[in-house]
Structure 1
């Protein structure tokens, strides 16, 4: 009805003309971008824009609200003296597009033009500072907020806490937090994020239990924080407590819990979360379906992952990449490569992560020539500059194929400094193919970058021992002792009746340790009673039992 009214008034205006009050009214009633463009044209025709400041600012803000950054930017430049609301609208537009530096530039322009910032402008500037991770800019804005008397506004204080936390500055964030007389859920949630980012999840958990108000958002932040900190079991325990306290998980919570299930292969629990997500319509969210595919694949149910993939109607690049990666992880590299070509035929452009997945698939499937071609295609056709991950896949591909000299040459000609993952990949390939020279180089590069890595010392010790280089082997042993480096115990998880159990080597902390060790002893006795197979002959006079 409003659309008909606006269109009818515009038709009447073509006959009778437009004035300031009528233009304001039309802009208030405007519902579509086409109507806005007509009003804009009429304002130009009748001299209202850019001569009438309020009209120009209102048209600009309307373009910004319709999400038309290019049109809004051009119109903003035509306004002789934009008001603070227009400056703030332009900042918000840049923030939506993650153009943080442009938002800061607009804020600086507003201050230089003599405008006194209000709370909304200050929040926009703080959000941009946090997005850049630049505490220096944030501190300057903080000083301006203090001088303008905005530091008593709740929304501004919340933005200050958030900015300092995102910049990794915990103490200033805590100072602002402690001085706040009024705190809401956003305040507590921002401070919780600060604890997780700057102090650690253990301190965040203690802070969380002190919070007077806990929302789904804060529970979700705590769960995802534990997942990111590689504590999936604790994340699942928190999820259980969240449900017991009556909080309804959102799609971000479900993604976090599915990630935790994927990390430990908790397939039964993952299926239960899938069922819950289906009932609550969360599985219509593309991010949730991608997380479901990842969970099923990492839990060993590639068929379920592919079933979820086929049900997705509007597949994006991440959906395709997740499924390609899933086949890669399961060792079906050829299927992953086939899916990559299906993706191209569907019209979806691959991104940098897609190429990491498909190059890894070529490595696992031994498709050396196809991997080379895809690496060249990534650079020459899709203009994607190789990153460390791409180089790592290629080194792994060449190393698995025994092309160690070519892998060494690729590392020497990389545009970036090779990281420890690349050197580990080369070390493994060299040990597998018996290239002691390159293995030693790779091992020393690893020790240079990560002297506390226990695995590389053990691998090099074994290599030296097998080559009868006992002096070098002893030197490795001495380095481990002098640096107090000890081999870390192995760790594994198993899910039984929906409960995830964690074990370490020689673990004596589990509640059922007595029953476990008794069962293992019985199994060992049975194995000893079985007939011993004939020894496997390696060479004359050598046997391996």
Structure 2
């Protein structure tokens, strides 16, 4: 194997295993000696293309005087393999080696800072852009906009955009994405409307922004506008974004049907949905709970688990609520106990509130009180009010008085005296009812 054959084999190589064989043969034949550093750089570039940072680093370490392309290859590889800290470390070594970084190398360093949200080092690299007069290159400006946006400094990103001499479609899209990252959909739309030109990436970015902001209707309208213009064809990513819009609309329709009482129609639409994610399942479970279908809600939760969809904290809250309203104490207890063990979700105050309500409705007041007392979170007035209501329903006046005092302590506002009188009035009203019932029994 000579030099030309080596070059040819590297260009045609498509697998890491084969590349290692070529590498081993080249070492055996002495093709990677110090006089042929360009061959080592080509090998490094091929390892980079195949995504093998360990092997690429080994090749790089044997290059006596790596050029700027080799440094940039290694930085890019660590970025593409989600190792921004390592990428920035390589850039630091490059800078201290005495080589002058070019635009591509600086873009790699800026991107590394962006992924780490490292505003401090990002500003230092920005200073290098001025020092080495690289600011006229649009790719550098675009990278700076992205870095500042990711780091939460959208004002600086806007300033970089305004000072750019050449603004291409990527520059506009970078700023558009910046506002989306900062959850400012209105500002993103203004940038989109001002764009002198658009491509499929900018269209998709704006549609995705609407999806992330859970504003489905404008996202769907924008997709229709994109198709009507016919200049830029939707990509796979665009279609995925639009499908997400449709999914959000599906959730909203389901929720509206459940709220309006159209239970049968909601169930039919849910069954016809081609894809059911955690949000659609949660909407379904919440709707069933709303209509007092606790057993059906538990069955839906079981079906969800069997389908491989992982529940979130809202899903579990909905199931606990269903158990509470249906009086399913055993099932509710079991689910609450398994939240961390089986689902990896730490109960929040809302979950504890559901359990107190569940136990209180069932008349298990002592257990409800013990749960409150052993909560790792400080119970709020909502939880104590839930216990108070249960105590009044079941006639436990002593516990009701205690719960009332806790509510007053937690809400020491100007209406505190009124709150005391209201709670006492509730207690004594219940006492009167019980007294009357006892008199009736004695007759």
Does TM, normalized by the shorter one, top 0.5?
A: yes
Q: 1:156 to 1:327 in 2, by over 3 A?
A: same
Q: Post-superposition shift, 1:223?
A: 4.2
2:322 match:
364
Q: Residue 128 of structure 2 is aligned with which of 144, 165, 174? A: 144
Kindly indicate whether the alpha-carbon contact (under 8 Å) linking 2:207 and 2:242 is maintained by their aligned counterparts in 1: no
1:39 is displaced (CA, Å) by: 0.5
User: Given the superposition, is the C-alpha separation of residues 428 and 254 from structure 1 closer, same or farther in structure 2, using an over 3 Å criterion?
Assistant: farther
2:111/2:143 contact within 8 Å kept: yes
Residue 189 (structure 2) aligned to one of 187, 196, 205 = 205
Check conservation: 1:363, 1:371, Cα contact below 8 A. no
Q: Deviations over 1:26-80 (max 9, x none)?
A: 2122122232121122123234457553333333332332233444445545555
Q: Is 1:399 matched with 2:356?
A: yes
* In 2: Cα distance, 1:34 partner to 1:142 partner: 40
Find 2:303's aligned residue among 339, 358, 367.
Answer: 339
1:410-467, CA deviations, whole angstroms, 9 ceiling, x for partnerless residues?
Answer: 542x6xxx7xxx858736744653567568768987x89xx9xxxxx99x99975641
Q: 1:116 to 1:305 in 2, by over 3 A?
A: farther
Confirm whether residue 328 of structure 1 aligns to residue 328 of structure 2.
no
Are 1:157 and 1:180, in contact at CA under 8 Å, matched by a contact in 2?
yes
Q: 2:441 — aligned with what? A: none
1:31 equivalent to 2:14? Answer yes
Structure 2 residue matching 1:401: 3-state secondary structure: helix
Contact in 2 for aligned 1:165/1:198 (Cα 8 Å)? yes
Please say if 1:265 is aligned against 2:249.
no
| TM-score normalized by the length of structure 1 | 0.59
3-state DSSP of counterpart to 1:183: coil
- Who is 2:396 aligned against? none
CA distance in 2, matches of 1:436, 1:254: 55
Q: Supply the distance in 1 between the matched residues of 2:163 and 2:97 (Cα, whole angstroms).
A: 32
**Aligned-partner Cα distance in 2 for 1:144–1:100:** 19
Closer, same or farther: CA 468–191 of 1 in aligned 2, 3 Å? same
The equivalent residue for 2:103 is 119
Contact 1:325–1:357 (CA<8 Å) still a contact in 2?
A: yes
String of CA shifts for 1:247-271, please: whole Å, max 9, x gaps. Answer: 6552244145225524642899xxx
Q: In 2, distance between residues paired with 1:94 and 1:125?
A: 11
CA contact (8 A) 2:320 2:355 kept: no
Contact 2:251–2:280 (Cα < 8 Å) also in 1? no
Contact residue 359 and residue 374 of structure 1 kept, 8 A: no
What's the CA shift for 1:142? Answer: 0.9
Structure 1 residues 299 and 231: alpha-carbon distance in aligned structure 2, compared to 1, 3 A threshold: farther
- Is 1:53–1:79's contact at 8 Å kept on the other side of the alignment? yes
Q: Which residue of 1 aligns with 2:338?
A: 374
Cα distance in 1 for residues equivalent to 2:264 and 2:90:
49
Q: Residues 254 and 227 of structure 1: is their aligned pair in 2 closer, same or farther, counting only changes over 3 Å? A: closer
What is the 5 A alignment of 1:111-510? Answer: 111-197=95-181, 200-226=184-210, 228-229=212-213, 231-235=215-219, 238=222, 241-246=225-230, 249=234, 250-258=238-246, 260-262=248-250, 264-265=252-253, 301-308=266-273, 321=278, 325=282, 327-331=284-288, 332-339=296-303, 342=306, 357=315, 361=319, 364-365=322-323, 366=328, 367-378=331-342, 384=344, 386-387=345-346, 390-392=347-349, 394-402=351-359, 403-409=367-373, 411-412=375-376, 423=380, 426=383, 429-430=386-387, 432-434=389-391, 466-468=422-424
Q: Distance in 1 between matches of 2:357 and 2:170?
A: 51
Unaligned 5+ residue runs, structure 1?
Answer: 1-17, 269-297, 313-318, 452-456, 471-536
| Range 423-432 or range 97-106, more displaced | 423-432
Q: CA offsets, 1:375-409, max 9 Å, x none?
A: 35348xxxx5x55xx44564245224225345435
> Structure 1's 200 and 44: CA in aligned 2 closer, same or farther, altered over 3 A?
same
Report Cα offsets for 1:5-40 as digits up to 9, x if no partner: xxxxxxxxxxxxx34443222212212223212112
Higher helix share: 2
* Runs of at least 5 residues in structure 2 that lack an aligned partner in the other structure: 257-262, 289-295, 360-366, 392-399, 427-432, 438-443
Alpha-carbon separation, structure 2, partners of 1:444 and 1:242: 58
Contact kept, 8 Å, 2:9 with 2:22, in 1: the verdict is yes
CA contact (8 A) 1:50 1:80 kept: no
Output the aligned Cα RMSD: 4.4
- Residues 188, 431 of structure 1: CA spacing in aligned structure 2 closer, same or farther, 3 A cutoff? farther
Q: Deviations over 1:137-157 (max 9, x none)?
A: 211111112212211111111
Q: Distance in 1 between matches of 2:374 and 2:63?
A: 55
Kept in 2: contact 1:43–1:49 (CA 8 A):
yes
SS where residue 265 of structure 1 aligns?
helix
Deviations 1:149-207 (A, max 9, x none): 21111111111122222222233222221222222221112222334555943344334
